[in-house]
Structure 1
Amino acid sequence: MTADALQHWLRLTLIPGIGGERQRRLLATFGLPGQVFDAGHGALARVVGDKLAHALRDHDAGAAIDAALAWAAEDDNHILTLADGTYPRALLDTADPPTLLYVKGDPAALNLPALAVVGSRNATPQGLDNAEAFARALAADGLCIVSGLALGIDGAAHRGAMAGGGRTVAVIGTGVDRVYPARHRDLARQIVAHGAIVSEFPLGTPAAAHNFPRRNRIIAGLARGVLVVEAAPGSGSLITARLAVEQGREVFAIPGSIHSPLSKGCHQLIREGAKLVETAQDILEEQAFASIKPGAGPAEAADSAPSAADGPLLDALGFDPVTLDTLAERTGLTADTLYAMLLDMELEGRVSRLPGGRFQRQA
């Protein structure tokens, strides 16, 4: 796309009061943005009304356009429009695709088979472990993990995807030149190197509460499904899940304690029809994810086979229920190391967790 053409796209999205629906109506009526701006006042007014027709012709967005073009000229920075062949195909199937996306990183990551992983900012330690372990296992199986760069579950999901050697995409509610929250600055740099950060909001847009529900529709739209790890009733994660349902995506939820407020949102989703999941395999078996790897079924046989590192632990487990302390005595490993290994094996369906903090081998 030429710089002149991109200027017109930027100008269209930078006019106050002309949101996505009106932008698409103008494009459907007149064609490309350049043709929108070439149209007469009367023709524009018939589509968006007199006041906005004046704004289309008179609003000066020159400084913002120049800043965006300069940003896009830097390494790893891209601006995608609805007319670009690299625009995410999944978003084109949604009711409200952004007219323009600012992308920092690799735009190709936006077209990979993806699962969104979302949940509470104030997650429990177990919730953080679950988010990271699920993301790691699913990324290793070829799924790009999409989340929102927020504290809690989002950050754990991004880290898990990268730990699994996979790709991850962060959809944010600020300008892509900002990092919110600031403490995720290092994480944001890592995500750019292993995927992309994307926003529909103009450069410089600060964090504002009303931006995040709009951000959530992109998270849901980019993915084939949404996994909710922990969520309180009425949380943004439930909004993302409902947007996913509206867009025809799968919704998954991890159950938790009936006494935990952060389990109530997941239990509500399960009552409403979300699939209860206990392992990454539960997600991979769904039709939307059944053929992520060419030539593979829902999960390759090697995924369920014990690794060399797991062999001694499986031997120590035996086939009777056993506590973590007993395993530590049998293996000489620390509780933290054992817990991490057992969580991976639990997600793969090879170990089950029993009441009283006990574990039992399943295969």
Structure 2
Amino acid sequence: MSQDHAPLLRLLMSGGALAPRRALLERHGTPAAALAAGPRAWRDAGLDPQQRASLHAPDRDVLSHALAWLDHPGHHLLGWHEPDYPALLRRCSSPPVALFVDGDPTALWRPLVAIVGSRAATATGRDHAAFFSRAFVDAGLAVASGLASGVDAAAHEAALAREAGCTVAVVGTGPDLTYPAQNRPLHRRIARQGAVVSEFVPGTHARTSHFPSRNRILAALSLGTLVVEAGEKSGALITARQAAECGREVFALPGSIRHPLSRGCHRLIREGAGLVEEPGEVIEALSGPARDLGHLLRARLHETESQHVPGSATAPSQLSPDYQCLWLALGPDPTPMDCLLERTGLTVASLSSMLLAMELDGWISVEHGRYSRRS
């Protein structure tokens, strides 16, 4: 029931500094307990008078609209207090209290690569974004971007065009709105094949101040950020800076010294970003962080490390029954997702999480959206 989300929504709607609201959740365990603790506990956690007043008397219209949005299938709210809150985002500075997700929440645990760049990208820039996006998806990575025009849209579209390709859009509006408006069809496709993510409550319109905030989430969710084309004052440079502050890899494509959309990339390269010409350079650089993410995912799924030797015909006995079922459904020949769904009877969300864990753990290989036991 979406009504169960009402306490967390009230915390989100109180606005202001994030750290006191996270501290309130950590101290009391659940949003309902945090609200029930009362004004004195809210003050002790560091909430300012305006935040406390909002908690006491939330905007009922905004709350009702958000609850109605959450009533729809495929709409989710992930709170700071929940184990499914993305681990990479939790580790960065200023993580949001919660995320709205339109689509598959497990997509936020996939190894993501952010592809960002100019809204006014050249045809060559859009081609480069699409080329790198396809290569990342074919290598088993997922692509993240900001649903903007230009480079963002090209990266999302190319990922969606691949069989079983996954892409995540982090937006600067509520999850029910699209900016720019012409990307509404793309928004819907991403929600069906990946996830659209926002920290803003449904009904929130685009504001200039929202996009640097959006960029920090995009950078934090991703293992690395690739800047394709960027001017000297591009928002993509903000994403790259925030990625570096999170300890993430930053890459940039070089361009013509005479083109203004090359200047931002060249500046990043001078400041230490990796100069890349081929997708394989990014994929290789992110192999270590992807393995680390696999360890975090195993911990989330409460799975112990297996001593299984890849290629065995027998399912490891220490695995849960669902994992044994999936292992037996796989073989040496690449198998598409729809066949695995039919063979196992698992849900798309469960199967996606399990395949990701097995892929990152080295048990299986993925090629063009098809899965097989690693030989």
Matches within 5 A, 1:155-170: 155-165=153-163, 166-170=165-169
* Other-structure match for 2:149: 151
Within 5 Å, which residues of 2 pair with 1:55-134?
55-134=53-132
CA drift of 1:91 comes to 0.8
What letter is aligned with 2:251?
F
Q: Does the CA contact (< 8 Å) of 1:105 and 1:196 recur in 2? A: yes
Q: Bigger shift: 25-34 or 82-91?
A: 25-34
**Once the 2 structures are TM-superposed, how far is the Cα of residue 289 of structure 1 from its aligned partner?**
6.0
Q: Which runs of 5+ in 1 are unaligned?
A: 304-363
Within 2, Cα distance between the matches of 1:51 and 1:8?
Answer: 18
Q: Does the CA contact (< 8 Å) of 1:117 and 1:146 recur in 2?
A: yes
Cα distance in 2 for partners of 1:100, 1:50 equals 19
Name 2:190's counterpart in structure 1: 191
In the alignment, the residues of structure 1 paired with residue 3 and residue 121 of structure 2 have an alpha-carbon distance, to the nearest angstrom, of 46
Aligned residue identity for 2:139: D
* Distance in 2 of aligned mates of 1:170 and 1:92: 18
> Partners of 2:120 and 2:48 in 1: how far apart?
47
Aligned counterpart, 1:39: 37
**Which amino acid in 2 is paired with 1:76?**
G
Structure 1 residues 290 and 223, CA gap change in structure 2 (3 angstroms): closer
CA separation in 1, counterparts of 2:237 and 2:14?
A: 31
Partner secondary structure for residue 45 of structure 2: helix
Question: 2:192 is matched by which residue type in structure 1?
Answer: A
Secondary structure of 1:267's partner? helix
C-alpha separation between the residues in 1 aligned to 2:284 and 2:169?
A: 25
Shift of residue 60, structure 1, vs aligned partner = 2.5
Superposed displacement of residue 94, structure 1: 1.1
- Whichever residue aligns with residue 206 of structure 1, its letter is H
Letter in 2 for 1:66: S
Structure 1 pair 214/57, CA: closer, same or farther in 2 (3 Å)?
closer
Residues 241-292 of structure 1, C-alpha deviations (whole Å, 9 max, x = no match): 0100110100010000000110011111111111100000111111446769
Q: 1:139 to 1:123 in 2, by over 3 A?
A: same
Please give the root-mean-square deviation of Cα atoms over the aligned residues, in Å: 2.4
1:80 touches 1:87 (CA, 8 Å); kept in 2?
A: yes
Match of 2:261 in 1: 262
- State the partner residue of 2:174: 175
Question: Percent same amino acid among aligned pairs?
Answer: 45
Contact 2:11 2:55 (C-alpha < 8 Å) held by counterparts: no
CA offset digits 1:294-338 (Å, max 9, x no partner): 587xx99x99xxxxxxxxxxxxxxxxxxxxxxxxxxxxxxxxxxx
- 8 Å contact kept, 1:253–1:266: yes
Q: Contact 1:45/1:52 (CA < 8 Å) preserved in 2?
A: no
Comparing 282-291 with 233-242, greater Cα deviation is found at 282-291
Gaps of 5+ in 2: 292-355, 369-375
Structure 1 range deviating more: 157-166 or 173-182:
157-166
Q: Is the 8 A contact 1:171 1:199 kept in 2?
A: yes
Return the alpha-carbon distance in structure 2 between the equivalents of residues 289 and 47 of structure 1: 34
| Counterpart for residue 295 of structure 2 | none
Output the CA distance in 2 between the equivalents of 1:194 and 1:53.
37
- Contact 1:15–1:59 (Cα < 8 Å) also in 2: no
Q: What is the count of residue pairs matched by the alignment?
A: 299
Cα distance between partner residues in 1 of 2:212 and 2:175: 17
Tell me if 1:215 matches 2:214: yes
Does structure 2 retain, via aligned residues, the 8 Å contact 1:149–1:184? yes
Checking the alignment, whether the CA contact within 8 Å between 2:10 and 2:55 is kept in structure 1 is no
Q: Displacement, 1:58?
A: 2.9
Contact 1:284 1:290 in 2 (8 A): no
Deviates more, 1:158-167 or 1:245-254: 158-167
Q: Is the 8 A contact 1:41 1:53 kept in 2?
A: no
Q: Is the 8 A contact 2:14 2:52 kept in 1?
A: no
Change (3 A) 1:85 1:47: closer
The aligned runs of 1:293-332 (5 Å cut-off) are none
Q: Matched residue of 2:212: which SS?
A: helix
> Structure 1 residues 37, 127: closer, same or farther in 2, change over 3 A?
same
Distance 1:49 1:75, change over 3 A: closer
Distance 1:57 1:164 in 2: 45
| Alpha-carbon distance in 2 for matches of 1:31, 1:168 | 32
1:2-17 counterparts in 2 under 5 A?
3=2, 5-16=4-15
Per-residue CA deviation, residues 170-212 of structure 1 (Å, 9 max, x unaligned), is 0000011011111111111211121011100011111100000
Letter in 2 for 1:222: L
The corresponding residue for 2:249 is 250
**Structure 1 position 32, deviation (Å):** 2.4
The CA distance in 2 between the partners of 1:185 and 1:262, in whole Å, is 26
Contact 1:104/1:176 (8 A) holds in 2: yes
Question: Cα gap change, 1:40/1:189 in structure 2, threshold over 3 Å: closer, same or farther?
Answer: closer
Taking the aligned partners of 2:241 and 2:48, their CA distance within structure 1 comes to 36
Asked if the contact 1:37/1:56 (under 8 Å) is kept, the reply is: no
Task: Confirm or deny: 8 A CA contact 1:137 1:164 kept in the other structure.
Answer: no
- The residue type paired with residue 205 of structure 1 is T
